[in-house]
Amino acid sequence: MKNTLTAAALSGPDVQRLNSAFAWVCALLTVALPLAVLYQLVTTPTEGLLLRAGVQLSALQLVMLDVDLWQRVLAVVLGMVPVCCTSYGLVCAMRCFSGFSQAEYLSLRTVRYLRGFAAGIFASVVAGLFVAMLISMVLTAGAPAGQKALAFGLGSNELLTLLFAGMVWQISAVMAKAVALAEENARFG
């Protein structure tokens, strides 16, 4: 038996509820993630922040490390940049799923939100790479000569997330063309 997707199947109550649920989860994460990251950044000791940035110091180097309050505050502010980009992407995803829950599948607005999600996730990864480097510089700025650190790391998680964001961006580009074709066909039909 062949299954076909119809407009009624795509906008059925189960699909609409699922899209609404995704919208609510995105809204919740938009607020919860930055709060959780802020808490983690504020409560993690300096050596923990350095480890997260990719810097491993010996016990002697940690004792000699002198971190001022301004360095710590700047590290926290910098650490918030990637999660703020993610939150922007989640707001866009929330709006996209809200559109889907109202059976708005092929509209430029929905496509724009999907593209915004991809952009937010992409920006989060790129910002994360540079933020880790900047945090390592900021926190070791007061270290004695030869003890300053600059860390940069690109792993498979970052590469896969960049690939995912790029794929979603491209899917939204294809959807934008589909919207344009549908509008053109509607004018002639």
Instruction: Determine the structural domain holding residue 159 and report its residue range.
Output: 10-188
Q: Does 44 fall in a domain?
A: yes
Do residues 123 and 36 make contact, with C-beta atoms less than 8 angstroms apart? Answer: no
Q: Does 4 fall in a domain?
A: no
- CB-CB neighbours of 89 under 10 Å: 24
Q: Does 68 fall in a domain?
A: yes
Residue 48 is given by DSSP the state H
Using alpha carbons, list the distances in angstroms from residue 72 to 59, 142, 147, 187: 19, 12, 18, 59
Q: Residue with structure tokens 């092929």?
A: 106
Q: Does 14 fall in a domain?
A: yes
pLDDT in tens, 79-138: 999 999 999 999 999 999 999 998 888 889 999 999 999 999 999 999 999 998 999 888
Do residues 61 and 148 make contact, with C-beta atoms less than 8 angstroms apart? Answer: no
**What pTM, to 2 d.p., does this model score?**
0.84
What's the confidence (pLDDT) of residue 1?
45
Q: Does 3 fall in a domain?
A: no
Residues in Cβ contact with 178 at an 8 Å cutoff, skipping those fewer than 6 apart:
106
Q: Does 49 fall in a domain?
A: yes
Long-range contacts of 138-142 (CB under 8 A, 24+ apart): 138/71, 138/74, 138/75, 138/78, 139/46, 139/49, 139/50, 139/53, 139/55, 139/65, 139/67, 139/71, 139/72, 139/75, 140/50, 140/55, 140/65, 141/71, 142/65, 142/66, 142/67, 142/68, 142/71
Amino acid (1-letter code) at residue 57: L
pLDDT tier at 146 (50, 70, 90 boundaries)? Answer: low
Q: Does 163 fall in a domain?
A: yes
Q: Which of 5-9, 43-47, 71-75 comes out lowest in average pLDDT?
A: 5-9
Domain count, the chain: 1
What value does the mean pLDDT of the chain take? 87
pLDDT in tens, 14-25: 889 999 999 999
